[in-house]
Amino acid sequence: MIVLVLLLTITWMALQSSFTLPDLIVGLAVSYAIVALASRFLSIPFTDGGLGRSRMDSRNYARMTVKWIAFIGFALWSILKANIDVARIVLFRRVADIRPGIIAIPLDVKSDAGITVLANLITLTPGTVSLDVSTDRRTIYIHCIDVQDAHAVREDIKQNFERRVMELLP
């Protein structure tokens, strides 16, 4: 939804062909209102995980919006941490000391969109890159640049990332 709001805002500003701050604010407000009003009639697979589960009422919509914003903030923060982490490994660790490995992590997220977001998040965050998802979509395999404790890595991803993704895209 938030993607839709941003797209509508950009379209709004392009059509106004003026990119001032008031235009941005008005555009955001108008787009938000349009999506809020139209959400009942839209079956956006991205919002209900493709399960056709819920039609969203406006309160739910507002709550999801807040959650998405929080999620994007969390993702950006994780990306910053990841960069510093990799920089530290590149600069200060002796190559012979790092312990790379491939770890299997059981998946609870079911939807395509959810798995995609989780896989992207894993890649963008400290020391891990998603490698593949099993055909039955129950397991995701990640490459970890420095495995000190495979169990801890697994728990960290399940608790921190998957839980957040689950809330948005089950």
The residue among 144, 145, 140 whose CA lies nearest residue 105 is 140
Hey, which bits of the chain come out as E strands? 101-106, 128-133, 139-144
CA distances from 131 to 99, 134, 137, 155 (A): 17, 10, 13, 18
Least gap, CB of 137 to other proteins (angstroms): 8
Q: Quick one: which of 30, 44, 150, 166 contacts other proteins (CB under 8 A)?
A: 150
Does the footprint of other proteins cover residue 145 (CB under 8 A)?
yes
Cβ neighbors of 124 (< 8 A, separation 6 or more) are: 75, 78, 79, 82
Does the footprint of other proteins cover residue 58 (CB under 8 A)?
no
Does the footprint of other proteins cover residue 54 (CB under 8 A)?
no
The two structure tokens encoding residue 114: 């959810």
- How far the first Cα of the chain sits from its last, in Å, is 15
Mask for 3-22, x = binds other proteins (CB under 8 A): -------x--x-----xxx-
Least gap, CB of 41 to other proteins (angstroms): 27
Name which of 56 and 107 has its Cβ closer to other proteins: 107
Does the footprint of other proteins cover residue 139 (CB under 8 A)?
yes
Least gap, CB of 11 to other proteins (angstroms): 12
CA distance linking residue 145 with residue 23, whole number of Å: 45
Binding site for other proteins (CB under 8 A): 10, 13, 19-21, 24, 79-80, 82-83, 85-87, 89-91, 95-104, 119-120, 122-124, 127, 129-136, 138-139, 141, 143, 145, 147, 150
